[in-house]
Chains A and B, each alone.
Chain A
Amino acid sequence: MFSFTKEQQTLEISGIHIGGQPGKNPTTLIGGLFFKGAPDYDFAEQHLQTMMHLSKKTGNPAIPDFFIKKEDYLQDIITFIETSLPRTQPFCVDIIDSAIKIKTLELLHQKNLLDRTIYNSIHIGITPQERFALQQHPPAAAIIVAFNPKDRSPDGKIEVLENGAHLTDQGLLQIAYSLGIKKILVDTAALAPGENSGAAIAAIPVIKEEYGLPTGCAIHNVVEKSKWLQQFPTAKKSVDASSNASIPLFGGDFAIFGPIEHAEAVFPIIAWYDILISEYTENYFGVNPSDSHPRRKLFQ
């Protein structure tokens, strides 16, 4: 449980506050809507409602993360976002393919949804065309993935943020700011087991102290990729959900916790750790929890 010397930024994204000193704002939980094959909107709606209910009950902000893998699905997913999410609810668009990223930005602009959009993500593979599209249609916020294929340590992650590690012409932070993206979340890039996956957690306080930016990761990915854990199918679910607790415990601000259907397991665990962290950081560092903090729910 930490307090940072560097001033910490709290970002407000369409009503949700992310970042700050540990114990101030609750951990934001980002749940993925991945879909096998064509999107199932009944499934999406049902699990979104469950996640929003859990968010209200615990105090942990919830953000859906829409994985868009095919251009064919783009229009429908954006229409779903437009019509089914609460009007001020921020959301992530999670896209690998650069061409689909560009088309998504254009569509979000046409639908006036960019002020609620968290772009997931900017990384060293950013193309000139993607940069142009981001400059034309800057989203409210962007997640920068600090993945450095050469050096997976916290130092390597800082290197890509700072100077691009010779893979991009500028550091990723500079690139994002120069494109007009004002709100940046840093994802410390959790890799597969055996690939220095723990560095994603160790990097959280290092990056928070270096930049003061909201920082987190998708530590769930490490659990998902573990072949070793497959021999413990019952425990795997609890390991998966509880792995997210390492993020707030190391001072982090958000957890990209995997499939949205895991929300029921994840929200109470994270709320619980947020409460413990707040108790300590208020007593030792004088950090008052925000009005919506899970610790305030404890006394209701």
Chain B
Amino acid sequence: MNTEYYPWGGDFTACTPDGSVAVVLLTINYTPPETVAIYGSLKTENIGIEKIIANVISNPHIRFLFLCGEDIRGHRSGSSLIALHKNGIDEQHKIIDAPGAIPYIENLDQNALQRFQQQIEIVDLIGEHDTKKITTLIHQYTAKTTQPFGEPYIAIRIKPETQISINDKRALHSKITINYRGKVKKRG
């Protein structure tokens, strides 16, 4: 597998590197077939969505994103992901017309979002629990002839390891100090 794929680690399973289908599991107990590129659950309508986008666009072979199962109550993460794909974000980085409680995209730039919109076709199966039907559809989409969408797009990189100095006096935080007894005080 290309080592650049899926830069944002998390609760997902990578299967076939050149698979064209990725599967988002909402409220459903289902294991997609091994022919998919990647599958995993989605919980939150902000960081969860960002993670899916960053990982999906890192693999140009992925062209279809399935969303299946009941949407996450309150968070409405699946519907918010669809809204993002359709409408993008506003000036405050809020997903336009998203039904979720906190639908903000803060860690991906517009280029990454546009890439997601262009590379991916959403297959909206929100509310679908029939796993046989989902599997059949996945096989149908996997059988379609698709071309990779250019090069991998790396939207986010894990920060390099930082060096810790034993002379670092920040203790818990740059704005507060703490003495040997545990007395906390704001700097300045």
Contacts and interface: CB of A to CB of B under 8 A. Distances in A.
Interface stretch (A132-140, A188-196, A254-262, A292-300): A188-196
A167 B92 CA distance: 6
A208 B182 CA distance: 14
* Chain B interface category by residue count: 20 to 34
A290 B4 CA distance: 56
Interface stretch (B136-144, B160-168, B170-178): B170-178
A162 interface: no
B104 A124 contact: yes
B173 A194 contact: no
**A96, A123, A151, A155 interface centre (most CB from chain B within 10 Å):** A96
Given A95-B74, A96-B73, A5 B184 contact: yes
B92 A96 contact: no
A205 interface: yes
B20 interface: no
Interface residues of A, number: 40
A209 B10 CA distance: 33
B181 interface: yes
**A69, A167, A208 interface centre (most CB from chain B within 10 Å):** A167
A149 B104 contact: yes
A251 B178 CA distance: 13
Interface string A116-157: 000000011100000000000000000000011111001100
B130 interface: no
Interface in A221-264: 225, 227, 251
14 contacts: A2-B178, A5-B185, A69-B73, A70-B73, A95-B74, A97-B74, A125-B103, A149-B47, A149-B102, A167-B104, A192-B11, A209-B185, A210-B186, A284-B181
A4 interface: yes
A209 B176 contact: yes
B175 A206 contact: yes
Interface string A260-284: 0000000000000000000010001
Given A97-B101, A149-B107, A209 B47 contact: no
A96 B172 contact: no
Contacts of A150: 93, 104, 106-107
B9 interface: yes
A192 B148 CA distance: 32
A167 B94 CA distance: 8
Contacts of A123: 101-102
Contacts of B92: 166-167
A95 B106 CA distance: 24
A191 B183 contact: no
Given A192-B10, A206-B176, A251 B74 contact: no
A88 to B, nearest CB: 30
B58 interface: no
A6 B177 CA distance: 12
Contacts of B94: 167
Contact of B11 (A97, A148, A202, A227): A227
Interface in B29-79: 43, 46-47, 50, 73-75
Contacts of A95: 74
9 residue pairs, one from A and one from B, having the closest CB atoms: A96-B74, A150-B106, A125-B102, A149-B106, A125-B101, A5-B185, A149-B46, A97-B74, A2-B182
A98 interface: yes
A209 B184 contact: yes
